[in-house]
Amino acid sequence: MEEIVRLKQTMLDVTHELISGCRFCVHIASDSDDRTPVHCVKYSGCAIPVQINTATCLSCQEYKRIGTRPNWPYTASGS
């Protein structure tokens, strides 16, 4: 059981590290038990993010296009 908890936390840490520069990422939950910790606006198509799981996020690979994030952390008001 402890192994699973550690594995989930590692997956979340890796995701956080990789996508911290993604311009579509709004928030990443810190709770490793959250099944959809990534809040992303790419798939919502508007300012309100959808929550997705880490596997979907990492397979998207949008995070590789770093350097185009104008307002991190993202807020709905743009501030």
Q: Is 62 in the site for ligand SF4 (CB under 6 A)?
A: yes
Q: Is 74 in the site for ligand SF4 (CB under 6 A)?
A: no
Q: Tell me how far CA of residue 7 lies from CA of 32, 51, 60, in angstroms.
A: 9, 20, 21
Q: Tell me how far CA of residue 39 lies from CA of 2, 4, 6, 69, 73, in angstroms.
A: 27, 23, 22, 15, 12
Residue 12 or 63 having the CB closest to ligand SF4: 63
Residue 12 or 22 having the CB closest to ligand SF4: 22
C-alpha span between 40 and 61 (Å, rounded)? 13
Peptide bond connecting 70 to the previous residue in cis, omega within 30 degrees of 0: no
Site string for ligand SF4, 9-48 (x = CB under 6 A): ----------x--x-xx------------x-x-x------
Residues that bind ligand SF4 (CB under 6 A): 19, 22, 24-25, 38, 40, 42, 52, 57, 60, 62-63
